[in-house]
Protein backbone atom coordinates (compact mmCIF):
# COMPACT_ATOMS: atom_id res chain seq x y z
CA UNK A 1 0.00 0.00 0.00
CA UNK A 2 1.39 3.39 -0.97
CA UNK A 3 1.87 6.20 1.53
CA UNK A 4 -0.92 8.19 -0.13
CA UNK A 5 -3.28 5.23 0.31
CA UNK A 6 -2.23 4.96 3.94
CA UNK A 7 -3.04 8.64 4.43
CA UNK A 8 -6.46 8.18 2.83
CA UNK A 9 -7.22 5.22 5.10
CA UNK A 10 -6.10 7.22 8.14
CA UNK A 11 -8.40 10.04 6.98
CA UNK A 12 -11.36 7.64 6.96
CA UNK A 13 -10.42 6.34 10.41
CA UNK A 14 -10.17 9.90 11.77
CA UNK A 15 -13.61 10.67 10.33
CA UNK A 16 -15.09 7.62 12.01
CA UNK A 17 -13.41 8.51 15.31
CA UNK A 18 -14.50 12.16 14.98
CA UNK A 19 -10.91 13.23 15.69
CA UNK A 20 -11.00 16.75 14.24
CA UNK A 21 -7.32 17.61 14.73
CA UNK A 22 -6.08 14.37 13.13
CA UNK A 23 -8.61 14.66 10.31
CA UNK A 24 -7.67 18.27 9.58
CA UNK A 25 -3.96 17.49 9.59
CA UNK A 26 -4.35 14.51 7.27
CA UNK A 27 -6.56 16.51 4.92
CA UNK A 28 -3.92 19.25 4.87
CA UNK A 29 -1.25 16.68 3.98
CA UNK A 30 -3.36 15.14 1.23
CA UNK A 31 -4.10 18.61 -0.15
CA UNK A 32 -0.39 19.44 -0.24
CA UNK A 33 0.33 16.17 -2.05
CA UNK A 34 -2.48 16.77 -4.54
CA UNK A 35 -1.30 20.36 -5.13
CA UNK A 36 2.19 19.18 -5.94
CA UNK A 37 0.80 16.49 -8.27
CA UNK A 38 -1.24 19.12 -10.10
CA UNK A 39 1.63 21.62 -10.25
CA UNK A 40 4.10 19.08 -11.61
CA UNK A 41 1.54 17.02 -13.60
CA UNK A 42 2.81 13.75 -12.12
CA UNK A 43 1.65 11.15 -9.64
CA UNK A 44 3.93 11.26 -6.61
CA UNK A 45 5.60 8.07 -5.46
CA UNK A 46 6.30 7.31 -1.79
CA UNK A 47 9.69 9.06 -1.83
CA UNK A 48 8.16 12.27 -3.18
CA UNK A 49 5.28 12.05 -0.66
CA UNK A 50 7.90 11.74 2.10
CA UNK A 51 9.49 14.95 0.82
CA UNK A 52 6.13 16.74 1.08
CA UNK A 53 5.45 15.39 4.59
CA UNK A 54 8.98 16.22 5.77
CA UNK A 55 8.57 19.77 4.48
CA UNK A 56 5.24 20.08 6.33
CA UNK A 57 6.85 18.92 9.58
CA UNK A 58 9.67 21.44 9.14
CA UNK A 59 7.17 24.24 8.48
CA UNK A 60 5.25 23.35 11.62
CA UNK A 61 8.42 23.27 13.73
CA UNK A 62 9.32 26.73 12.47
CA UNK A 63 5.79 28.00 13.14
CA UNK A 64 5.77 26.52 16.65
CA UNK A 65 9.07 28.26 17.39
CA UNK A 66 7.67 31.58 16.18
CA UNK A 67 4.50 31.13 18.23
CA UNK A 68 6.63 30.35 21.30
CA UNK A 69 8.64 33.52 20.69
CA UNK A 70 5.38 35.49 20.51
CA UNK A 71 4.05 33.87 23.73
CA UNK A 72 1.22 32.15 21.84
CA UNK A 73 1.47 28.81 23.63
CA UNK A 74 -1.97 27.68 22.42
CA UNK A 75 -1.00 28.02 18.76
CA UNK A 76 2.43 26.48 19.35
CA UNK A 77 0.81 23.46 21.03
CA UNK A 78 -1.50 23.05 18.03
CA UNK A 79 1.49 23.05 15.67
CA UNK A 80 3.27 20.45 17.81
CA UNK A 81 0.16 18.25 17.81
CA UNK A 82 0.11 18.43 14.01
CA UNK A 83 3.81 17.51 13.94
CA UNK A 84 3.11 14.39 16.02
CA UNK A 85 0.34 13.35 13.64
CA UNK A 86 2.47 13.90 10.53
CA UNK A 87 5.42 12.04 12.05
CA UNK A 88 3.29 8.90 12.40
CA UNK A 89 3.43 8.63 8.59
CA UNK A 90 7.19 9.14 8.36
CA UNK A 91 9.66 6.25 8.70
CA UNK A 92 11.52 5.72 11.97
CA UNK A 93 14.32 8.28 12.40
CA UNK A 94 17.89 7.08 12.02
CA UNK A 95 20.03 6.74 15.13
CA UNK A 96 23.29 8.69 15.36
CA UNK A 97 25.28 5.47 14.80
CA UNK A 98 23.26 4.52 11.70
CA UNK A 99 23.65 8.01 10.29
CA UNK A 100 27.39 8.02 10.92
CA UNK A 101 27.74 4.63 9.20
CA UNK A 102 25.74 5.87 6.19
CA UNK A 103 27.94 8.98 5.93
CA UNK A 104 31.09 6.82 6.04
CA UNK A 105 29.61 4.53 3.37
CA UNK A 106 28.72 7.51 1.16
CA UNK A 107 32.18 9.02 1.54
CA UNK A 108 33.79 5.70 0.55
CA UNK A 109 31.41 5.15 -2.38
CA UNK A 110 31.88 8.66 -3.79
CA UNK A 111 35.58 8.98 -2.94
CA UNK A 112 34.84 12.18 -1.04
CA UNK A 113 37.81 13.68 0.79
CA UNK A 114 37.36 17.46 0.77
CA UNK A 115 34.57 20.00 1.21
CA UNK A 116 34.31 20.22 -2.60
CA UNK A 117 32.87 16.68 -2.50
CA UNK A 118 30.02 17.67 -0.16
CA UNK A 119 27.47 17.67 -3.02
CA UNK A 120 28.43 14.13 -4.05
CA UNK A 121 27.94 12.83 -0.51
CA UNK A 122 24.60 14.65 -0.06
CA UNK A 123 23.41 13.39 -3.45
CA UNK A 124 24.31 9.83 -2.49
CA UNK A 125 22.65 10.03 0.93
CA UNK A 126 19.50 12.03 0.22
CA UNK A 127 17.35 9.19 -1.20
CA UNK A 128 18.45 6.87 1.62
CA UNK A 129 17.71 9.22 4.51
CA UNK A 130 14.76 11.26 3.18
CA UNK A 131 12.20 11.67 5.94
CA UNK A 132 14.38 9.83 8.44
CA UNK A 133 16.68 12.66 9.53
CA UNK A 134 16.98 16.43 9.51
CA UNK A 135 18.86 17.34 6.35
CA UNK A 136 20.43 20.38 8.02
CA UNK A 137 21.88 18.26 10.80
CA UNK A 138 23.06 15.72 8.23
CA UNK A 139 24.86 18.47 6.32
CA UNK A 140 26.61 19.57 9.52
CA UNK A 141 27.80 16.04 10.25
CA UNK A 142 29.12 15.60 6.72
CA UNK A 143 30.98 18.94 6.98
CA UNK A 144 32.53 17.80 10.27
CA UNK A 145 33.78 14.58 8.68
CA UNK A 146 35.06 16.27 5.52
CA UNK A 147 36.51 19.33 7.22
User: What integer is the mean pLDDT of 74-98?
Assistant: 92
Q: What is the average pLDDT value for the chain, to the nearest integer? A: 91
pTM, two decimals, is 0.80
CATH 2.40.50.110 fits 96-146, yes or no: no
pLDDT digits (tens, 9 = 90+) for 49-73: 998 999 999 999 999 999 999 999 9
Report whether pLDDT(47) > 90.
no
What percent of the chain is modeled with pLDDT above 90?
56
Domain ranges of the chain: 3-87, 96-146
Q: Which residues of 58-74 are buried (b: 16+ CB within 10 A; e: fewer)?
A: eebeebbeebeeeeeee
- CATH architecture of the domain covering 3-87: Orthogonal Bundle (1.10)
Amino acid sequence: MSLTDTLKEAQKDAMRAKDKLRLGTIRMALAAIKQREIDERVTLDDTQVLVVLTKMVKQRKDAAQQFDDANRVDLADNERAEIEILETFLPQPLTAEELSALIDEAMAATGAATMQDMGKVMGFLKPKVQGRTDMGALSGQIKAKLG
